[in-house]
Amino acid sequence: MPQVAARISQDHEKWLKDYFKTKSAGAEFILPWAVDVFFKSIRGVSSEFSVAELKTILESHRDVKLLPSQSKQAYLVLRVQEACSERSVHIHHGASKSNLEVKLRRLSDLQATAVMIWATAYWVSKVWNGIPLDDYVKLSCG
């Protein structure tokens, strides 16, 4: 099995040790579980949004560094609102700002985090480098 080295807080390390036989056993369970939850969330949530709305969300996450402490629905709404107000990304992609905001506010923190990971991945992943927004939306949400 490939190795992954991650930096975690002391609280997270303690939690892994408390809930699993070893810290490694906990990490080996949690990481695949988190990936599965991410893909399940993206598949479920993406069908709620139009292509124009998904492209607006993507554009709103250009140059955003996602932090675990900001992985909440309120931060997603704020990022999209700011991008719409400051750069009119919703107009560029043909999305309704008010409809998009209503949909974003319906998301749980878990769903919003999956959306933010998905959106930032487009901008930082070498796999998607140079792939048009439309293709990313179709390939990763279709």
pLDDT level of residue 119 (50, 70, 90 thresholds)? very high
Distances in whole angstroms, Cα of residue 49 to Cα of each of 34, 53, 87, 119: 23, 6, 20, 13
- Predicted model pTM: 0.89
Domain assignments of the chain as residue spans, ordered by start: 10-43, 49-141
In tens, the pLDDT along 70-118 reads: 899 999 999 999 999 999 999 999 999 999 999 999 999 999 999 999 9
Q: How far apart are CA 13 and CA 46, in angstroms?
A: 33
